[in-house]
Amino acid sequence: MALEFFDNQQTNNIIELRNIHQSYENGKVEIIKNLDLLIEDKPMQGQFAVILGMSGCGKSTLLRYIAGLQQPTEGTVLVKGKPVSKQNRVSMVFQQYSSLPWMTVLENVGLGLQFQGISKKERDERAMEMIQLVGLDGHQKKYAQYPNLSGGQLQRVAIARSLMSNPEILLMDEPFGALDVKTRLQMQDLLIGIWEKFSPTILFVTHDIQEAVYLADDIYIMKHAPSHFVKHINVDLPFNRTRETKRLAHFDELVHQVEDAMMQIDAEN
Find, among 110, 68, 72, the residue nearest to 92 by Cα.
Answer: 68
Which segment of 3-17, 48-62, 108-122, 135-149 scores lowest on mean pLDDT? 3-17
Query: What number of CA atoms fall less than 13 Å from residue 195's CA on the CB side?
Result: 26
pTM (predicted TM-score)? 0.88
CATH 3.20.20.70, applies to 8-89+169-269? no
DSSP assigned state of 143? B
pLDDT digits (tens, 9 = 90+) for 38-90: 998 887 788 999 999 988 889 999 999 999 999 999 999 999 888 887 667 88
95 vs 119, higher pLDDT: 119
Say if residue 200 is preceded by a cis peptide, omega within 30 of 0.
Answer: no
| Beta strands in the chain, from DSSP E residues, in sequence order | 13-24, 29-40, 48-53, 74-79, 82-83, 90-93, 169-173, 201-205, 218-222, 229-234
- The whole-angstrom separation of Cα 187 and Cα 172 is 12
220 by DSSP, 3-state: which?
Answer: strand
* pLDDT score at 99: 84
The count of other CB atoms within 10 Å of the CB of residue 148 is 14
**pLDDT level of residue 28 (50, 70, 90 thresholds):** confident
**pLDDT level of residue 268 (50, 70, 90 thresholds):** low
Strands 218-222 and 201-205: unpaired
Domain with CATH 3.40.50.300 in the chain: 8-89+169-269
- The whole-angstrom separation of Cα 152 and Cα 186 is 9
Mean pLDDT, all residues of the chain: 88
**pLDDT level of residue 246 (50, 70, 90 thresholds):** very high
